[in-house]
Each structure stands twice: as structure tokens, then as C-alpha cells.
Amino acid sequence: MKNNKFKAISLGLITGLVNGLFGSGGGTIAVPFMQRFLKVEEHDSHANAIAVILPLSIMSTFIYSSHLKVDWNSLLYVSLGGIIGGIFGAKLLNKLSAKWLHKIFGFFMIAASIRMIIG
């Protein structure tokens, strides 16, 4: 159990760093790490990653808003859409098999990687 606590804290540090540095994206690290090193089941790792990202994002928002310009108007509308999308995504998560969830997550990671490399 002690080793799992160290792994979980390490995951939190890395996820927080990525979230704070890039404005989000910690889930791309948290999901596979939880599955591989903490032995968390596919669906549970996605749900836990989202739950972990919430407090990280809140903290990052406070820090960003005190040092950088945050467009609160856009933030409001994007957040509203994100909440609606999050509700549908959470409901869809329970309907997907672990195999399809893994493939869809992988596709989005590859697509995001290509987009970042290209420009």
C-alpha cells in the first residue's frame, strides 16, 4: 500500500504540473498511469482522472487569473458547453465497452498529438 501511495502522489505531481503548464491535459497522463501502475480499471481510470482534474483546474484558474488575462466572458460560455458535454460524456462512458473506450481515447490522443506537431 505504501508503494501505491507513492505512485499516486507521483501521479498527482506530474498531472498537476502538466495541467498547470499547459492549461489542462493532465488526463492524458492520469488515465494510462492509473491503469498501468495503480491497476485501476479502464472506466474507473477515466472517471477518476476527471475528478482529479477538477480541483487542479480550479487552482490553475486562480493562478492564471492573477497573472494572465483571462477572458471571463468566453470562459463562461465555454464552461457552459463543457458542463453540458461533460454530462453527456459521463452518461456515454457507462455505455461503452472498455475496448471501445480505450480505442476512442487513443484516437483522441493521436489526433491531438498530430495537431500539436503540425501546428
Q: Round the average pLDDT of the chain to a whole number and report it.
A: 86
Q: What grid cell was written down for 45?
A: 481510470
Please tell me whether the overall predicted TM-score, pTM, comes out greater than 0.85 for this model.
no
Q: What is d(CA 41, CA 98) in angstroms, rounded to the nearest whole number?
A: 9
Q: What is the mean pLDDT of residues 45-49?
A: 89
Domain count, the chain: 1
- Give the pLDDT of residue 53: 81
DSSP code at position 119: -
Q: Is the pLDDT of residue 118 over 60?
A: yes
Q: What is the mean pLDDT of residues 70-82?
A: 89
Domain, as residue range, for 105:
2-118
- Give the pLDDT of residue 104: 92
